[in-house]
Structure 1
């Protein structure tokens, strides 16, 4: 009789699963459309297809079938989906649990776009010299790093590009909005404008963002309730937005203090009157007990103020 513990009868290890691929599959399964899933993930559609193929190769089964209407789950895909969702949730909880158990000597502070957090970070390091204070710049579509636990605090403009459930939002200051136009535009050089001055012109929209975020930055609907004309859809960067505007294909609303717009002489910004401002805010997880987060909030409220 063979030894049950012998190598010949030991269970064979299963495939090593890349959690990133599992997350990609879960998003495709949610949308059942590769184009929409790619937009939600901010990846190119061909790349997403290749990653799903890698996952299928690792599992040795077909998870999705293409159809005329989009995609559908195979029997194996339907069986794998709830397990995949559980795996992703468990991995996320494991990260949060490990970080919660560690001594609170580390904090990672995220910030987006052109926002400057140096004064508050410097103050926190002065007050807590023993702490390891890290900073991380994020693209405009990476705010989910906060609820996912990859950062501990985020300085960002409102409206938030992510749901605010489980988050605390501390408004630091109001920031007016400005109209961004090509330098040759009829409105360039004006001291200020109102929505009536550009009511029929298309504004740049960003695919894959929340409706509230997109509507705010496209002024959609307009103050009179009419829909904003559609402009080019972007899926990537703020620099793409600048290029579309400079080319004369659309105009855009931007934060009035955004320094990136001033770096190009083929663009002009004009203050917009009669629209509510955006706000610069500090966002943290409601359940976070890290004292460094509270200390950074104090520093941010005192030092991250709008320059006038």
Structure 2
């Protein structure tokens, strides 16, 4: 019987939280998707792992017996993967990103990285918005430019803080304003990220400062978002820098008041201490950010 590491990771998260919603938030997946995957795993195994209760879940005897082995397998895989990565004197560093980064971040960083690691090449990988880890969760990226919030288990360093803007179709009643308050958008349909993006979806719906939002459509890429806006399906929040990067005819962008800023960060697995990853982090430009940044690994910024 073949069981994926992802399934073990899901099982362990639910076993530790004993609550499907909290485990889904921890994993950055939707609660229905997590419940479905656990049911698929239980069918594969031929026995239940959890008893669903009104307050959450509890392990069955079979689940309790399996949990130590699942934890050990995940730990062994992580240890082996780190060892294999450390053994590589050259290779390719995969940089995940969900949109164009811009902001003069990439060119100088890549130049300095190549000076530090001459045997290494770089691959830029566009990751779907339904993976808020930028490919770090499944190991398909080594580092990633991401928008916060991110899943657990990732170390992040904030690179840029920007105001959030609203993109509206040209001719929208609010488009004539110099700025828009978030309360003025409460009845507007929004273009949202895929449900699988979890808390990141909520952030770009403005749910960090309000209780709900009307969703007019979902979009999985920047082009889909802007096409939906020009088609009149809704409005969307985006970072100030992206308002400039993705400007197009028929779309008007205005700053939104009443919202905390968006944060663009570099993220990496907190257990990944390979020289190539450390060199890339050290190659990033030193930008003025506040003391609240979460940085797990200290690197020389020079």
Taking structure 1 as the reference length, the TM-score comes to 0.65
Q: Which residue of 2 aligns with 1:155?
A: 145
Residues 182, 248 of structure 1: 8 Å contact kept: yes
Structure 1 residue 183 corresponds to structure 2 residue 177: no
Q: How does 1:142-291 map to 2 (within 5 A)?
A: 142-143=132-133, 145-146=135-136, 150-157=140-147, 159-163=148-152, 167-169=155-157, 171=159, 173-190=160-177, 192-195=178-181, 198=184, 200-201=186-187, 204=190, 207=195, 214-215=202-203, 218=206, 220-221=208-209, 227=210, 229-232=212-215, 237-238=220-221, 251-258=235-242, 262-263=247-248, 265=250, 267-272=251-256, 277-284=261-268, 288-291=272-275
Residues 143, 267 of structure 2: 8 Å contact kept: yes
Residues 30, 196 of structure 2: 8 Å contact kept: no
The SS at the match of 2:41 is helix
Q: Which residue of 1 aligns with 2:126?
A: 137
Q: Is there any run of 5+ residues in structure 2 with no aligned partner, and where? A: 288-302
CA 1:261–1:108 in structure 2 vs 1: closer, same or farther (change >3 Å)?
closer
| Alignment partner of 2:45 out of 52, 59, 66 | 59
Deviations 1:204-243 (A, max 9, x none): 466566769845761743xxxxx45533398873567657
Q: Which residue of 2 aligns with 1:293?
A: 277
Deviation at 1:170, TM superposition (A): 5.0
Residues 178, 254 of structure 1: 8 Å contact kept: yes
CA 1:228–1:181 in structure 2 vs 1: closer, same or farther (change >3 Å)?
farther
Paired with 1:182 and 1:217, the residues of 2 have a C-alpha distance of 17
Q: Which residue of 1 aligns with 2:86?
A: 100
How many residues get paired?
A: 278
Deviations 1:40-73 (A, max 9, x none): 5647957963x54553454333334567887664
CA 1:249–1:38 in structure 2 vs 1: closer, same or farther (change >3 Å)?
farther
- Structure having the higher Rg: 1
Q: Which residue of 1 aligns with 2:299?
A: none
Paired with 1:80 and 1:236, the residues of 2 have a C-alpha distance of 39
Residues 39, 235 of structure 1: 8 Å contact kept: no
Q: How does 1:96-135 map to 2 (within 5 A)?
A: 96-103=82-89, 105-116=91-102, 119-120=107-108, 123-124=111-112, 127=115, 128-135=117-124
Deviation at 1:99, TM superposition (A): 1.5
Residues 109, 154 of structure 1: 8 Å contact kept: yes
Q: Which residue of 2 aligns with 1:21?
A: 7
- Structure 1 window deviating more from structure 2 (201-210 vs 268-277): it is 201-210
Residues 189, 235 of structure 2: 8 Å contact kept: yes
Deviations 1:67-112 (A, max 9, x none): 7887664332333234323322332232123223433654222222
The SS at the match of 1:187 is helix
Paired with 1:38 and 1:294, the residues of 2 have a C-alpha distance of 28
Residues 180, 269 of structure 1: 8 Å contact kept: yes
Q: Is there any run of 5+ residues in structure 1 with no aligned partner, and where? A: 1-14, 222-226, 304-308
Residues 206, 259 of structure 2: 8 Å contact kept: no
Residues 167, 253 of structure 2: 8 Å contact kept: yes
